[in-house]
Amino acid sequence: MDKYNFNTVALHGGQEMDGHVRSRAVPIYQTTSYGFESIDHAAALFQMQEEGYIYSRNANPTNRVFEERMAELEGGVDAYAVSSGQSALSIALLTLAKVGDEIVTTNALYGGTYSLFADTFKRFGITVRFVDGRNLSELENAINDKTKAIFTETLGNPGLEIADLSKLSEIAHKHGLPLVVDSTFTTPYLIRPFEFGADIVIHSTTKFIGGHGTSIGGIIVDSGNFPWDNGNFPEFTEVLPALNNRSYMELASKSPFIAKARFDLGQNLGTALSPFHGWLFIQGLESLPFRMKQHVENAQQIAEFLSAHEQVAWVNYPTLKDDPQYELAKNYLPLGAGSIFTFGVKGGLEAAKRFIQSVKLLSHVTNIGDAKTLVIHPASTTHARLSPEEQALTGVNPEQIRISVGLEDVEDLKRDIDQALIASKEGALQSVKA
């Protein structure tokens, strides 16, 4: 197979034109099931003696194109698409850790991930240890003989803490553990975590990958580099009757991790992605490089505009020249630090609320990575279930506004932000209404 560059893979990866009608676009295989050729064929598929499609809860040809394209874009060996970013996180981490096991995670996390770890996993008997991702000795000290994975987001949601992936993967590998990375904020266009030693990448494809705010989905990608037979993961080497008396390592030498995620938890918990959504994500991938380039350009301009605005107290965007993470951003994110960032309006919490109530072109919704520009107040929404202390740990504070900069004409965005900032001044809304 020829090796193509990123933009070409985004358009062609994973697709072979079908021999029958030679559809140029990837067809939507909107089917639950696939006809068996014979009773023996059905038995061979069920006993995993032959590869093939059985039922769309575990695999579907449209989703397979999406999976293979994502694996290629990330530089991995295989991928598994599921129904949401949350299910990608759950399936990936529960494939590694079971009752009694532990996970070490950096603090700077999406609120839903924090709740999954602190509440749900806890109820399932899995302890998640939260550490400051910038304090590497704290992180290493949290590892013990029950630890099964190190977890981080590439850019913490919403505080934008940049994960030092090379150092995190070095520590993980020293202890025989995989580094699992949520790269939702960055996509493979901005960073390919496997190049920095990560082992598993997950995305909420709901965001930039779908790109148009239409569909919920997630994906798990395997680098193919982790040695699952290192003694820490017996579930990958034990022989199972369900696998026709083989282990996951024997069944799928390319990616035992993805095989286990798909045929164990994915199949049994039922977190399948709809083929139509898989198809929409393929459409998203085809324009991903162009959208990401523009997202980043618009975000940089909006961040600079906000920094210079008299109603803005602070802006947290790593590629602003005086940002404390500027050097780290240049190293890990040379094409840009995404288009989602936070800022504080002068006047604190009340001014932040007035700003949100005053935007007209910007949409007040809970999503990110849409083609349209979105704003939200994290402390009262995405991170509302967290205590003030937990909010501070995850990088959230009361006057903070999160913006996901879209693809509109940037001058129109500036005009709307400017009028909303003016309206955020104390008394401004009342006098407008009067």
* Residues lying near ligand PLP in the complex (CB under 6 A): 84-86, 110, 112-113, 153, 157, 182, 184-185, 204, 206, 216, 218
Q: Report the C-alpha gap between 243 and 411 in whole angstroms.
A: 58
Least distance from ligand PLP to the Cβ atom of residue 106, Å: 12
Comparing every residue's Cβ against ligand PLP, the nearest one is 85
d(CA 81, CA 373): 26
**Which residue lies nearer to ligand PLP by CB, 62 or 184?**
184
Please say whether the beta carbons of 318 and 325 come within 8 A.
yes
Q: Which residue number, 228 or 317, has a Cβ lying nearer to ligand PLP?
A: 317
Q: Which is nearer to ligand PLP, 86 or 95 (CB)?
A: 86
What tokens does 123 get? 């109820």
Closest distance to ligand PLP from the beta carbon of 151 (Å): 11
Query: Measured from the CB of residue 89, what is the shortest distance to ligand PLP in angstroms?
Result: 6
Cβ 16 to ligand PLP shortest distance, Å: 29
Instruction: Compute the least distance from the CB of residue 295 to ligand PLP, in Å.
Output: 15
Q: How far is the CB of 109 from ligand PLP (least distance, A)?
A: 8
* Exposure letters 87-113 (e unless 16+ CB within 10 A, then b): bbbbbbbbbbbeeebbbbbbbbbbbbb
Of residues 15 and 271, the one with the C-beta less far from ligand PLP: 271
Q: Which residue has the tokens 């282990």?
A: 247
User: Which positions ≥6 away from 77 have C-beta within 8 Å?
Assistant: 71, 222, 223, 224, 254, 255
262 C-beta neighbours (distance < 10 Å), count: 25
Q: Cβ closer to ligand PLP: 340 or 423? A: 340
Closer CB to ligand PLP, 168 or 312, in the complex: 168
Rank residues 113 and 255 by Cβ distance to ligand PLP and give the closer one.
113
CA distance 94 to 216: 20
Q: Which residue has the tokens 């809860």?
A: 57
117 or 233: whose CB is closer to ligand PLP?
Answer: 117
Q: Indicate the helix (H) or strand (E) that contains 415.
A: helix 410-423
Q: To the nearest whole angstrom, how small is the minimum distance from the Cβ of residue 182 to ligand PLP? A: 5
Shortest separation between residue 186's beta carbon and ligand PLP, angstroms: 10
302, 409 contact by CB (below 8 A): no
Q: Residues 83, 85, 88, CA angle at the centre, nearest 5°?
A: 75
CA–CA distance, 105 with 152 (Å, rounded to integer): 6
How far apart, in whole angstroms, are the C-alpha atoms of residue 311 and residue 355?
10
